[in-house]
């Protein structure tokens, strides 16, 4: 709490440690340019599935191979694949799509470590972002489903943001599939036992948003079954009006 100024009895409020730069106002033009480039590129690509997962997963890891298989199967079903454009699971997703000539999209972000564009992104579908929040919009707006393999804070952030948007009906309900039973099941059990049953902070229906599997074919079945009666709903998840 701010201390009272003894001289006049008013609150003594905090000040910035240095003057804000006037150029911050011009940042909006950078933001707008990233939105425009993202929308113009992804509008033309068609329905996609976003694949999330760790940048640290090595090519010889079972989860890397699983991500390649899932991306290949999604490509055979006619979906483009969107990843964060980096190494690990992201690379695996792009690789699986590109191996079969599918649309392979990379939403790259400038980071001080870990992030380097992988070699399996289509040249005309590689986007570089300065701002995380714009990149997240692109992940969500153009994905007809989300597949999350094991990852770190970034993966958790992406999964929970999508869940929140679906739960609050800010985007259309779409499949959100967690791949890796040993990795995800403890989290889902905690959500059920603590968030739902102990604290009553979510609804039982919210847990239905998160099927868990280790089988690429089940991933495809979940997506196909969801859209079997929704063929005409293959469209971006929200419009900016």
Cα separation, 182 vs 112, whole angstroms: 31
Does residue 224 sit within a domain?
no
Q: Phi and psi dihedrals of 90, rounded to 5?
A: -60, -45
Digitized pLDDT (tens) for each residue of the chain, 241 residues in all: 455 566 666 788 888 887 766 666 778 888 999 999 999 999 999 999 999 999 999 999 999 999 999 999 999 999 999 999 999 999 999 999 999 999 999 999 877 665 578 999 999 999 999 999 999 999 999 999 999 999 999 999 999 999 999 999 998 889 999 999 999 999 999 999 999 999 999 999 989 889 999 999 999 999 999 998 766 567 777 666 5
Does residue 201 sit within a domain?
no
Please, where are the H alpha helices in the chain? Answer: 27-43, 62-76, 89-99, 132-141, 153-167, 181-190, 204-207, 216-228
E strand spans, the chain: 48-52, 80-83, 104-109, 126-129, 143-148, 176-179, 212-213
Tell me which DSSP letter residue 210 carries. -
Does residue 194 sit within a domain?
no
CATH number, domain of 145, equals 3.40.50.450
Does residue 208 sit within a domain?
no
Structural domains in the chain (count): 1
Cα separation, 108 vs 115, whole angstroms: 8
Does residue 116 sit within a domain?
yes
Does residue 55 sit within a domain?
yes
Q: How many CB atoms lie within 10 A of CB 70?
A: 27
Could you tell me the residue range of the domain that residue 114 belongs to?
29-172
Q: How far is CA 226 from CA 46, 130, 174, 221, in A?
A: 18, 34, 8, 8
Does residue 81 sit within a domain?
yes
* 41 close to 125: Cβ distance less than 8 angstroms: yes
What is the pTM for the complete model shown? 0.88
Does residue 216 sit within a domain?
no
């Amino acid at each position: 709490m701010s201390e009272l100024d003894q001289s006049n009895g008013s609150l003594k409020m905090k000040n910035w440690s240095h003057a804000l730069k006037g150029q911050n106002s011009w940042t909006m033009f950078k933001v707008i340019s990233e939105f425009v480039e993202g929308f113009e590129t992804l509008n033309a690509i068609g329905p996609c599935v976003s694949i999330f997962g760790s940048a640290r997963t090595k090519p010889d890891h079972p989860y890397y191979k699983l991500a390649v298989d899932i991306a290949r199967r999604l490509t055979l079903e006619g979906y483009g694949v969107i990843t964060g454009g980096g190494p690990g699971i992201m690379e695996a997703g792009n690789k699986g799509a590109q191996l079969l000539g599918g649309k392979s999209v990379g939403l790259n972000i400038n980071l001080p470590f870990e992030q380097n564009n992988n070699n399996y992104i289509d040249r005309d579908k590689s986007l570089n972002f300065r701002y995380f929040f714009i990149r997240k919009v692109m992940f969500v707006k153009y994905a007809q489903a989300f597949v999350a393999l094991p990852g770190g804070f970034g993966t958790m952030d992406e999964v929970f943001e999508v869940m929140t948007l679906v739960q609050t009906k800010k985007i259309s309900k779409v499949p959100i599939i967690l791949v890796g039973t040993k990795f995800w099941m403890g989290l889902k059990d905690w959500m059920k036992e603590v968030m739902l049953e102990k604290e009553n902070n979510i609804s039982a229906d919210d847990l239905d948003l998160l099927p868990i599997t280790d089988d690429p074919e089940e991933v495809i079945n979940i997506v196909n079954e969801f859209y079997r009666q929704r063929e005409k709903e293959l469209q971006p998840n929200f419009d900016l009006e």
